[in-house]
Amino acid sequence: MDEAKRSHVIVRTSIIGILGNILLVLFKGIVGFLANSVSIIMDAINNLTDALSSVITIIGTKLSNKKADKKHPYGYGRIEYITSTLIAALILFAGGMAVYESINSIIDYYTNGTMPDYQIYSIIIISAAIVAKIVLGLYFRYQAKKVDSDNLNSSGLDALFDSVLSFGTLISLIFAMTLNFYIEGYVGILIGLFIIKSGIELIKESLSSMIGNRFERDYVLAIKKDIKEISGVSGVYDLILNSYGHNKNIASVHVAVDENMTTKDIQKIEHKIASLMMDKYNTIMTVGVYAINSHDEDIIKLNECITDIIKDYKNILQFHGLYLDKETNFCNFDLVISFDEEDVSNLIKEVKEKLNKIYPNINFNINFDQDFSLS
């Protein structure tokens, strides 16, 4: 789905959410004031925050689609992460207000004996509101999955949480009407804490996206497979992906090619990789090259020796880019080391010492590669 169509779906879904929530605010607000019910009034305020979150989603979507400029050459796609964080903050605010007002309601009940004055229409309106919020929540999440939008997904989760809040209000209402028994303050606290917990989880997720998450393993493997299928590429290594918003990535990769290839041949490979990544993955790709001599007996033996040495180190995930210059006796290769390794320098030193005992005349240069996409 192209960005214009995706933006249209997000904005249309958000507008539906705004209209639906404003209607719920009006109905719940009227019922809450007539019944003198803090839980219904807080429920109405919560729906108002939902409408605001949809407004934030629209603004964020519009801003994130701005073209890159001199000040922001990578574009504005990451604004969606910021707006997702703001929506999570609204969820936290709604949960906090629910707890605060519920505590005040409990204090008022035990101080003044104040009980809400519910009528049968209160049950009808709150029940209809529960159904409406469930429908809105499911609709938001369906559209979020279709266009891969964290903002819509957050709004959908918020709507489903609201239906739980409204259900608690309904239970309180039924107890008050049938048994003249006060529980709405206690129910409000429990639901408010549940909403706060959900808001914390959402804000952690959105902040994590801002910091930079590891890409899904299946996505990484698909890219490597596609590049490996290009004629002349014998290996794909050091894939680094940086996200700058939905489906807007900048990446780099090293590919292994035969050392006897001409620069013209290598340039053709680089062009094919760059075109593939832009057309299929909407990713700007920079390509580096490892020159490989896979027919030399000495290099084959050296490759086997390195493989045998590193198999004893669980935190070495891979080695690649092996190149031996026999004229200078200089050997270069890369080690991909897990984030679990506490002493990278010492690990590399040990590997080098073991190699030097076997090949004392070779000057080994071992490069440390970060585990960006292997594990």
pLDDT band at 270 (very low <50, low <70, confident <90, very high): very high
Q: Label the pairing between strands 316-325 and 283-292.
A: unpaired
Domain spans of the chain?
3-211, 217-370
| Token pair recorded at residue 196 | 């706060």
Domains 3-211 and 217-370 share a fold: no
CB count in 10 Å sphere of residue 297: 7
Q: How confident is the model at residue 147 (pLDDT cuts 50, 70, 90)?
A: confident
> 345 or 83: which carries more pLDDT confidence?
345
Confidence of residue 375 (pLDDT cuts 50, 70, 90): low
Q: pLDDT band at residue 264, thresholds of 50, 70 and 90?
A: very high
Beta carbons of 287 and 253 less than 8 angstroms apart: yes
Give the residue among 244, 212, 248, 264 at the shortest CA–CA distance from 370. 212
Cα–Cα dist 13/140, whole Å? 7
Tokens of 156: 């959908």
Fold (topology level) of 217-370: Alpha-Beta Plaits (3.30.70)
- What is the predicted pLDDT for the residue at 118? 67
The yes/no answer on whether domain 3-211 falls in CATH 1.20.1510.10 is yes
The pTM assigned to this predicted structure is: 0.70
